[in-house]
Structure formats: structure tokens, C-alpha cells
Structure 1
Amino acid sequence: MMSNLADMEIFARVVTTGSMSAAARDLGLSPAVVSKRLGRLEDRLGTRLLQRTTRKIALTEDGQGYYERVQAILSDIEEAEAFLARRAEDARGTLKISAPTSFGRMHIAPYLVPFMKANPGLTVNMQLSDEMVDIVGDGYDLAIRIGELSDSTLVARRLAPVHRILVAAPSYIAERGMPRTIEDLDNHVCLAAHNNDPWRLEGPQGAVVYRPTGPLQTNSSELVREAVLAGLGIAQRSTWDIGPDLAAGRLVRVLPDYTASRNVALYAVYPSRQFLPAKVRLFIDYLAEIYGPVPYWESHATPDRNQS
């Protein structure tokens, strides 16, 4: 089996370099040995893989199909070996992270210290912003994002579900009344940061898109939160943000039959799955363990901050 694998590697190197002599130099073998091993491989497979002339080497139709599959096998073997090597790595260097302002402050920052204590060779550079950063262009190792997953060349891992609901302060409802239908929102003050506009809701009749209008315009999600708590109007908020306020009665649900799109979730987004650095893998696994399939904010519980 190992001999067959070596022959496959020789064949792939010949195709990649375009000549037996170049492949022989790369592999530290003589051209005669390379030619002999290719002949043995073709004899074993019972087909010609390469057309050889004095000037070039070309793949046959069978050779092309075989080469594509051999490349996949060799790549899988390389990735398997790299996986084992990465398992033994420590998280070192600088881990540059982008995260939403409110979520980062409330649900990442409190758990950074135990992670850093468990990885003393690591420096964390965390940037909190509600703007969409260019992960590759700005040199981030990963970004924590909340939303619907879109097609991208980046890799995303789903960390937790995100539930968004409509809420208002009891004082606002006492003054303006409780809306009973989506259409009733037209007669109410609706609050939304620009990155949360429009409201994409799912209700008894399916998907609904509502464009909130109100006297407050801001790019700050935290300002919207303070405004709804102060009784200014109705807002769409995530349960990770206002769960304790609901439990304490500082906010109440509005139109409870409607929630935001079920496709909204919390994701860790990073440039490439291949050869993922240990520092990135460990941090993503750490957050996934903290949040779990049913995040602690859904039950208003607080996880152990000392976990690592």
C-alpha cells in the first residue's frame, strides 16, 4: 500500500512539473527510477496514464481522471498530517478579532481572561465595531458576526442561534397601547439602527418585511437599546441583548407571534479552512463551548467564567 502511494506521488509530481527529470530532482530520485515507477504504476492499473514524447508529457483521458483523484487523495493525506501537527501546537502570536460592539462587550469580553490565562503565549487584539470589516484586507484572524450567512469565499462556523424579537418598555405601552397587527406599527414609534433596517420578520402568514420609521436615527445599536428602555418606542432586539430586561419586566414583548428570520445566527468567520492556526481554532472552540446549542442568555443564566 505504501509503495502504491509513493507511485501515486511520483505520478502527480511528474504531471505538476511537466517532466520526469524535474520530478526526479524534486523527489531526490534519478530519472530512470521515476520512469520505472511510472511504468510499474501503469502496468498495475492496466492503462496508459501519460503520452511521452521527446519534447513533452501529456495526460491521456484515463490519466486526467486518475490525476484529479490522486490529487484529492494526496491533499487529504497532507491535511490529515497537518491536523495532527496542529493538535500539538500551542496558541502563540497575536490573535486579531473583530466583533460587534454590544455582543463583544457583553458576551466575549467577560470570558477573555480565562482563555488568555490558558494560552500565555498568545496576545489578543480585539476590535469592537458594528461596521463590516474586511477580514483579509485588514489582517484579521477571524470575525464574530451576527446575521444571515451569505455566499462568501470566507469560511463560517455557526456558534449559536440568535433570536430577535420586538420589544417595548411598559411605560411606552401604557401611553401608546399595544399593537395587535404589523399594520398597527404604522401608528407607533419604531426604533432601528441602520444595520438593523428593515425588519425581516416571520409570522403566522409567513415572511414579512417592515421598514421602521421614527424620530431617532443612529448607527449605534446600544443607543437604540437605551432608547427603548427609556420608553421612546418599539425596537427589534436580540435576546442576548435584552434577556435580563425581559425577565425583570423592564421590557415586554410586542407582537409575540412575530420573530426575526430563523436564518439569523452567530458565526465565527475566518479566511480559510486549510491549515487553520491553532490560536484561531482554539478560540472558536472556546466560544462554541461557552455558548452551546442553547445559549445561556436564553435562560438568563451565567456560565462559569473560569472555564478554559
Structure 2
Amino acid sequence: MIPISDLEIFARVVTAGNMSAAGRELGLSPAVISKRIGHLERRLGVRLFQRTTRQIRLTETGEGFYQRITDVLRGIQEAEAFASQGNDHPTGILRVGAPSSFARGHVAPYLGQFLAAYPDLQVDLTVSDAGMDVVGDGLDVCIHVGELEDSSLVAKKLAPCRKVLCAAPDYLSRAGVPETLSDLDKFDCISTFDGRTWRLHGPEGPKTVRASGRLRTNSSDVVREAIVGGAGIGFRAVWDIAEHLRRGDLVALMPEYRETPGVAIYAVYPCREFVPAKQRVFLDFLETAYENVGFDAPDIEKYTYRTPTPRAVAAT
């Protein structure tokens, strides 16, 4: 039989994208990684990767092999978790994925406290706005912000995710103030490429707005900063813009419209049974950390745009 360690090395090269990165994650040199991959290919009698001096990519056979061994490796992890379920001491590497803005603002600030509480744990945090595959990317936990898709994965709700229409006061003073959702057609509405349709819920039920504007980007961070800079109107999560609302850089518009039901901050992970201690403590830690953060923004009304009152002219 093929050694399980060789399958783990192969899978790590796939998720890391190259042998050097896989070696750093596994504590092995690139030469050792290359040797083990070569040994695996010779044993199978096939080429799993196409290699050049600059890149490495899966062959068609390698892709099929990877898809089939992920379930095998996940089954082994579950077996290990089952065998050690009496051991509540979290150890090893915890691999976490999260959207870049959320990771920077609401994961990274808590990691010092978490690592201090669990000195035998190492956290590998991967950030991306492109979306991640918990199983395919070899993650233990993936933070998902939004609605959940149908999946065999397990999801735990960590916190609500209030979203609001917002803009900079300077932009509104130049462009005017929308009073209804249909008015938004006359304004620059800024979103990422994959989020140009805003799904909202208001007094009359679900509504859809086509976010069209003169700025296009694939970065959620760029959308936020562009809105703060006066480029247009956005539909943003309060966790992403709370500080700008407090400072007055942004104001909320039509707060009666918010995210559709089902939008929240979730932790997604592969299996409900035999969850390893390292995952359990991380999920519990985040849930506790987010309890009083104010993601639901019950006070959003005080940040809503108010038309400036004209100054009275003194009598002469």
C-alpha cells in the first residue's frame, strides 16, 4: 500500500500550489518533498504533476487522483479524532480560511489571546476573497460570510451579519440622496465583480438591486475604501464599516432595508462527528469573542443620513 504520509505530502503540494510552500507547512525541505512525490509517481506508474522551472500543475490523472484521496485522508482524520476523543488537549496545526477583510478585522486581532490560551497549537491562516474549499484546500475551519450553499459540510453560526446601504456624506452632497431603492439606478453603486446584484429585505419583502457604477474591482477592500472616498454607494456589512460610521466617514441610507434572512457569519468544517479538540476550542473561542461585538448594529438609526438643516439668516 502507498504510505499515508506520501498521500498527505501529495495533497499538501496541491493545496499549497508548489513544493516549497508545502515543505514549509510540513517542516520538510523542497528536496525531500520532490523525492517523495517522485517516489509516489514511480509507484503508481503515472505522472501526477507537470513541472517547469517556474510552476507546477496537476495532470489530468493527478487531478482525478487528488479528488479520490481527499475522502481517504478526511476519513483518516476522523478516525484519529475518534480514537483521541477522550483527549481534550488541543495540539497540532489548525488550518483556518477566511475572507481577507474579515480576517484582518475580526480574526487576526483575537489570535494572540487564542494562541496564549492554547500554547501547543499552531494556526495557519489563509485569506482570500475568491472563496475557499474546506476539503479541497485542506482546511480545518473556514469562516464564511453570507448565505450558505447546499453542502454536505457542517456550518455553525458564529454571529449575525447586518448589512446596510451606505455612502460618504461628501458623495451625497454632490450626487443627491436616494429616497427609494428605484432611485439607486441614478447613482454609482459599487460592488465586487461577483456581488453586483444586491439582495435586500425591507418592509415589502425581498428586493433585488443591480449594482451598476463606473468602478469595477475584484477586491472587497477596494470597494469599501472607494465608498469612503466618495466614489458612490455601497451595500456593506456593519463589521466592515463600523469604525467609518462612528467617525462620520460614512452614513447609512434607508436602514429599513437590510440583508436577506440567512446571511450571517458561519464557521464551516468537514464533519459533525468526532470534531478534533483543536477545532472545538477555536469554534467556541470565536463564538464567545463575537457575542458582544455589535455585528447586528441595533443602533444603526443614529448613523443614518440626515439632510442638513439650512442655516437661519440673521435679521438686520
Give the alignment's TM-score, normalised by structure 2.
0.66
Task: Determine if the alignment matches structure 1 residue 167 to structure 2 residue 166.
Answer: yes
Structure 2 gap segments, 5+ residues each: 1-77, 299-316
CA distance in 2: counterparts of 1:277 and 1:291, whole angstroms: 22
Q: 1:87 to 1:109 in 2, by over 3 A?
A: farther
- The CA distance in 2 between the partners of 1:87 and 1:243, in whole Å, is 42
Q: CA deviation at 1:295?
A: 3.0
Structure 2 counterpart SS, 1:190: coil
Show the 5 A alignment for 1:15-30: none
SS of equivalent to 2:107: helix
Give the 3 Å change call, closer, same or farther, for CA 279–173 of structure 1 in structure 2. Answer: same
Aligned counterparts of 1:290 and 1:212: Cα–Cα separation in 2 = 33
Corresponding position of 1:113? 112
Cα shift readout 1:39-85 (whole Å, capped 9, x = no counterpart): xxxxxxxxxxxxxxxxxxxxxxxxxxxxxxxxxxxxxxxx9xx8996
TM-fit CA distance, 1:249? 1.2
Q: Distance in 2 between matches of 1:146 and 1:93?
A: 26
Deviation readout 1:126-179 (Å, 9 max, x if unpaired): 001112212112211110001112221000000000011100000000001110
| 1:87–1:278 contact (8 Å) kept in structure 2 | no
**Which range moved further: 153-162 or 238-247?**
238-247
Map 1:159-198 → 2, pairs under 5 A: 159-198=158-197
Q: Which residue pairs with 1:295 in the alignment?
A: 293
Cα distance change, pair 188–139 in 1 and its aligned pair in 2 (3 A): same
Q: What is the rounded CA distance, in whole Å, between the counterparts of 2:226 and 2:188 in structure 1? A: 11
SS at match of 2:103: helix
Kept in 1, the 8 Å contact 2:159–2:295? The answer is no
Q: Following TM superposition, where does structure 1 have runs of at least 4 consecutive aligned residues deviating by more than 4 angstroms?
A: 82-85, 297-300
Distance (Å, rounded) in 1 between the aligned partners of 2:180 and 2:273: 49
- 137-146 vs 253-262, which moves further: 253-262
Report deviation, 1:271: 0.2
Q: Is the 8 A contact 1:165 1:236 kept in 2?
A: yes
Q: CA deviation at 1:246?
A: 1.1
Distance 1:271 1:152 in 2: 10
User: How far does residue 299 in structure 1 lie from its aligned partner after superposition?
Assistant: 6.3
The alpha-carbon deviation at position 88 of structure 1 amounts to 3.9
Matching residue's letter, 1:295: V
- Tell me which residue corresponds to 1:7: none
Change in Cα spacing, 1:197 to 1:87, as seen in structure 2 (3 Å) is farther
Contact 2:189 2:211 in 1 (8 A): yes
What is the CA distance between 1:262 and its match in structure 2?
A: 2.6
Residue 199 (1) aligns with residue 208 (2)? no
Does residue 242 (structure 1) correspond to residue 246 (structure 2)? The answer is no
Q: If you compute each CA radius of gyration, which structure gives the higher value, 1 or 2? A: 1
Quick one: distance in 1 between partners of 2:188 and 2:137?
38
Q: In the alignment, what sits opposite 1:41?
A: none
Residue 86 of structure 1: SS of its match in structure 2?
Answer: coil
SS of 2:174 mapped into structure 1: helix
**In the aligned structure 1, how far is the partner of 2:108 from the partner of 2:294?**
15
| 3-state SS in 2 of match to 1:126 | strand
3-state SS, counterpart of residue 254 of structure 2: strand
Structure 1: unaligned runs, 5 residues or longer: 1-78, 301-308
Look up the equivalent residue of 2:139 and give its one-letter code. Y
Alpha-carbon distance between aligned partners in 2 of 1:258 and 1:296, rounded to the nearest angstrom: 18
SS of 1:98's partner is strand
Task: State the Cα distance separating 1:119 from its structure 2 match.
Answer: 1.1
1:157 aligns with 156
| Shift in CA distance, 158/297, structure 1 to aligned 2, threshold 3 Å | closer
Distance 1:166 1:295 in 2: 20
User: Matches of 1:119 and 1:260 in 2, distance apart?
Assistant: 36
Task: Tell me if the contact between 1:154 and 1:270 (Cα under 8 Å) persists in the aligned partners.
Answer: yes
Matches within 5 A, 1:10-159: 86=85, 88-159=87-158
- Output the amino acid matched with 1:159: L
Q: CA deviation at 1:183?
A: 1.0
Q: 2:210 is aligned with what amino acid?
A: R
Superimposed CA distance per residue, residues 187-235 of structure 1 (whole angstroms, 9 cap, x where no aligned partner):
1010001233310011121111111111111110000000000001000
Cα–Cα, structure 1 residues 184 and 137, in superposed 2: closer, same or farther, change >3 Å?
Answer: same
Select between 256-265 and 164-173 the one with higher mean Cα deviation: 256-265
User: What is the distance in 1 between the residues matched to 2:223 and 2:112?
Assistant: 29
Contact preservation (8 Å) 1:243, 1:298: no
Question: In terms of mean alpha carbon deviation, does 85-94 or 159-168 score higher?
Answer: 85-94
For the residues of structure 2 that align with 1:161 and 1:125, how far apart are their CA atoms?
25
**Equivalent-residue separation in structure 2 for 1:297 and 1:255 (angstroms):** 18
Residue 259 of structure 2: aligned partner = 260
